[in-house]
Amino acid sequence: MRAWFACTGSELLALTPDGVAAALAASQMSRRLSGEPAQLRAWAEQVRMLQHCVREGGGEAWTLALEFDLLRLEKRIDAVLLTAGAILVLEFKVGATSIANADRAQVFDYAQDLFDFHAASRRHPIQPILVATHCVSPAPFQIPLPVAGVLPVAEANAATLPGLLTALRDALPAPAVPLDGLAWREAPYRPVPSIIEAAATLFARNSVAEIAAARADAANLTRTTAAIEAALDAAQAAGERVVVFVTGIPGAGKTLCGLNVVFGEQRRAGSAFLTGNSPLVAVLREALACNRAGIDLARGPSADPERRRLAPRPRQARHEATQALQNVHRFLADNAARTTPPAERMIVFDEAQRAWDAAQAMRDTQRRVSTLRMSEPAHALEIMGRHNGFAAIVALIGNGQEINTGEAGLREWGAVIAATPGWRAVAAPRALHATEPAQRLADSHPPWLTLDPALDLTVSLRSVRSEAAALWVDAVLRGAAAEAAAVARAVPEGLPFLLTRSLAEARRALRHLTPGLRRAGFVRSSGARRLRAEGFDAQLMGTEEPVAWFLERWPDIRASDALEVAATEYACQGLELDTVGLAWGGDFVRQGSAWVARSFAGSAWQRAAKDQDFVRNTYRVLLTRARYETVIWVPRGSPRDHAFYDATRDAAEMDAVADFLAACGARPLPAASPAAQDTAPARLL
């Protein structure tokens, strides 16, 4: 049971408000959370209001769950009230005299979380109710339709709440099978946290099993986490050096597994998470620092004064996050010139297939003079091998996500391990049987490699709407239209990929599809140079812009949900959004029956045959960033019969892309209805 306190309506009437508040305080203390007198008074006031509602509405048979824990970062519902035919989600603002848009978004978000992740909630109407106890004039209550799903937010004060609940009871008749309160309370709540939420929760020393029970198939993730720990434990007990390879499809939880090793309850002393993805480092560092400093990314500083008192200062929190999250290129460059062992005995090497080969590692650029003299895998083994006894590298391998030249792939890792005495490896069979030679550790089973199938993550956790999303994306990018269409037909509720030719309609859909506190944003390929002519050329630059884009909220115009600036594959790889708008560019188009990759040079597109796989993988990254829907905008381009025809935006090429995506099963974006627009969160109107 996720509620701190639960009872029936009749049981509630037999209790005192102070007694219920004391029981809630005991639950709070058992979770090692601090309390204060003001919270006790607020709980007692809420209980008095709910008792009055039960008496007035004849709700003795109702079920009440107080402080229902959503297991998403610091989210608890004040009260869930179960009638015979509806689930009422109540958020109390005791003493509030007005209602803010952020409060509406908060309670709507709670209701949406129940709909998406609570097993017993999807078949019933879910009514979010915001109770500002001293608000003079809450919005008039509109009788909702008796349909399953999340209804528009209703508003009430202390005096109008009983009448609102009575009206709901009368408007939403009991279904053929009434809600069973006890069964609802015991039904599993299986959240899928975002990478940012997961990192912050793990930083508080929770386990991956606590936060990633996504569906019945979540055993895939926990099994892989256990396999990593088992390999590390065995190596540590034997005083050995080991590389543990974790493979998997996009969105399957590789980064989450790596974060768990560094931040979770089984964390080893001297561990660090290394990635060459600078935006990922910057975003996660700031998210972790805010969490440690008691700052809620959605709503600002914590309302809990005890948490604010105990939290470290932001500067200290950022220092702690910096120690555990490092840029892999800087880690290698800093240690390459030394001869002493590093402080870390275990490192997680994120996106290890993208580690630089020797030529790229040794190349000088305008921004740096290289201190490396070998490939990055070779340097990693040499640096970690300076330790006497145990040393470990957990290498996270994103199959099909190589997006740049100079990336060594698994082949280089295998060659370096074979040539470096004292190292062994553990990997899934996929590491020997991959289609691409560059993504195979070796062509046969070498003696230094132990195979463990549990180290392969094959189920996408990122896509909440459908686990078939990754399969569909793979078929689309291989040009297998019939296969993609078959995947789409096998999903009864429809794939979470929507297609439009209008930028304005894409923006409208993104705003409508992100209720509550969820986040939307546009992504695009860095090579989609001619989006400029479509009025959509802005893209994130540097490492500071992605921090604001991923962490700030509208009305901050830097935030992703301002829908003004797009993240490229470099800014968003490893991260995610709830709903994504993908602006399709002219760098990846259909010509005849095949995909063609291009690069823009001078004033025209050039075939990019040698970069075909990189561009294809770029769109794989972009198409797998969404936790819910992806809205694909394919510009209409320039018609050939137009007086100012622009050959770099040929309409026929764009039509061919849109037609192919539609044939693969991408659903046309439905037209907006006035009712749908009315229910959109006010922050996005």
Burial class (CB in 10 A: 0-12, 13-18, 19+), 581: buried
What CA–CA distance (Å, rounded) separates 279 from 307?
29
Neighbours of 265 (CB within 10 A): 13
For residue 545, what are the domain limits?
A: 469-684
Tokens 């004391």 — which residue?
Answer: 22
Q: Is residue 464 part of a domain?
A: no
Q: Where does a domain end: 427, 457, 487?
A: 457
Nearest-CA neighbor of 279 among 524, 527, 568? 568
The answer to whether residues 417 and 475 belong to one domain is no
The answer to whether residues 181 and 224 belong to one domain is no
pLDDT digits (tens, 9 = 90+) for 664-681: 999 999 876 444 443 333
Residue 63, classed as helix, strand or coil, is strand
Q: Is residue 602 part of a domain?
A: yes
What CA–CA distance (Å, rounded) separates 319 from 286?
10
Residue 344, classed as helix, strand or coil, is coil
Alpha helices in 67-155 (DSSP H): 101-117
What's the number of domains the chain is made of? 3
Q: Where does a domain end: 428, 457, 486?
A: 457
The answer to whether residues 289 and 174 belong to one domain is no
Containing 273, the helix (H) or strand (E) segment is strand 271-275
Backbone angles phi, psi at 485, to 5 degrees: -65, -35
pLDDT at residue 450 in the model: 97
The answer to whether residues 552 and 475 belong to one domain is yes
**Residue ranges in the chain whose pLDDT is less than 50:** 73, 205-217, 298-312, 403, 673-685
pLDDT at residue 216 in the model: 34
Task: Please say whether the beta carbons of 393 and 271 come within 8 A.
Answer: no
Provide the sign of the torsion angle of the four alpha carbons 332, 338, 339, 345, taken in this order.
negative
What angle, 0 to 180 degrees and rounded to 10, lies between the N-to-C axes of helices 278-292 and 544-551?
50
pLDDT at residue 265 in the model: 65
Q: Across the strands, what pairs with 596?
A: 589
Q: Is residue 462 part of a domain?
A: no
Burial class (CB in 10 A: 0-12, 13-18, 19+), 643: exposed
The answer to whether residues 519 and 394 belong to one domain is no
The answer to whether residues 375 and 418 belong to one domain is yes
| Backbone torsion region of residue 292, taken as left when φ is above 0, otherwise alpha when ψ lies between -120 and 50, otherwise beta | alpha
pLDDT digits (tens, 9 = 90+) for 618-643: 999 999 999 889 999 999 999 999 88
The answer to whether residues 268 and 307 belong to one domain is yes
Q: Where does a domain end: 169, 186, 203?
A: 186
The answer to whether residues 118 and 234 belong to one domain is no
The answer to whether residues 179 and 264 belong to one domain is no
pLDDT at residue 208 in the model: 43
Instruction: For the full predicted model, state whether its pTM sits above 0.75.
Output: no
What CA–CA distance (Å, rounded) separates 618 from 663?
21
Q: Is residue 511 part of a domain?
A: yes
Q: Is residue 643 part of a domain?
A: yes
The answer to whether residues 371 and 310 belong to one domain is yes
Q: Is residue 62 part of a domain?
A: yes
pLDDT at residue 382 in the model: 97
Backbone angles phi, psi at 605, to 5 degrees: -80, 145
The answer to whether residues 430 and 495 belong to one domain is no
Q: Is residue 463 part of a domain?
A: no
Q: Is residue 554 part of a domain?
A: yes
The answer to whether residues 242 and 326 belong to one domain is yes
Provide the sign of the torsion angle of the four alpha carbons 320, 324, 330, 336, taken in this order.
positive
